[in-house]
């Protein structure tokens, strides 16, 4: 599922190409941490990239433009792989929440290793 929709057939939409390749989620989840104004629930990921993520089934109070703290929960070579970070809401619509990461070198290092070991 695309975060921002698909390129229109025909006339085009002049959107720049995506900066980061998306990886379809394979059981990974995101927990939206309560101390950042989020709901504290864990949601199944649709996809994740070096630039952000999308979750399905979102029913919380966060809105576009808000910042929040999250915890990524995954599995890397049979071991729990978790990392906390911050993100900015890009879209909340029809049960989907899409967010982009704020600049965090530690987070980029984690995901670089995580994707390399999937």
What's the rounded Cα separation, in Å, for the pair 108 and 101? Answer: 9
Whether 18 maps to a domain, the answer reads no
Cα-Cα-Cα-Cα torsion 99, 1, 47, 16, nearest 10 degrees, comes to -60
Whether 72 maps to a domain, the answer reads yes
What's the rounded Cα separation, in Å, for the pair 84 and 80? Answer: 13
Comparing CA positions, the residue from 75, 76, 72 lying closest to residue 29 is 72
Whether 112 maps to a domain, the answer reads yes
Whether 12 maps to a domain, the answer reads no
- What residues form DSSP beta bridges with 84? 71
Whether 10 maps to a domain, the answer reads no
Let me know: does 84 contact 55? Beta carbons within 8 Å. Answer: no
Whether 9 maps to a domain, the answer reads no
- Specify the pLDDT at position 106: 96
Q: Across residues 24-49, what is the average pLDDT? A: 87
Tell me the pLDDT tens digit for each residue of 52-98: 999 999 988 889 999 999 999 999 999 999 999 999 999 999 999 99
Name the residue range of residue 33's domain: 23-116
- Mean pLDDT estimate for the chain: 84
Structural domains counted in the chain:
1
Whether 11 maps to a domain, the answer reads no
Whether 51 maps to a domain, the answer reads yes
In SS3 terms, 8-29 reads as CCCCCCCCCCCCCCCEECCCCE
Residue 8 has pLDDT above 70, yes or no: no
Polymer length in residues for the chain: 118
Identify the CATH number of the domain in which residue 75 sits. 2.40.10.220
């Amino acid at each position: 599922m695309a975060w921002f929709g698909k390129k229109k057939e025909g006339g085009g939409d002049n959107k720049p190409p995506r900066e980061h390749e998306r990886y379809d989620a394979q059981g990974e989840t995101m927990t939206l941490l309560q101390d950042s104004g989020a709901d504290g629930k864990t949601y199944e990921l649709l996809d994740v990239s070096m630039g952000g993520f999308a979750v399905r089934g979102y029913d919380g109070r966060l809105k576009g433009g808000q910042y929040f703290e999250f915890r990524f929960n995954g599995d890397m070579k049979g071991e729990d792989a978790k990392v906390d970070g911050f993100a900015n809401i890009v879209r909340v619509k029809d049960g989907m929440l899409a967010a982009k990461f704020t600049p965090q070198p530690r987070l980029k290092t984690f995901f670089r290793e995580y994707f390399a070991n999937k």
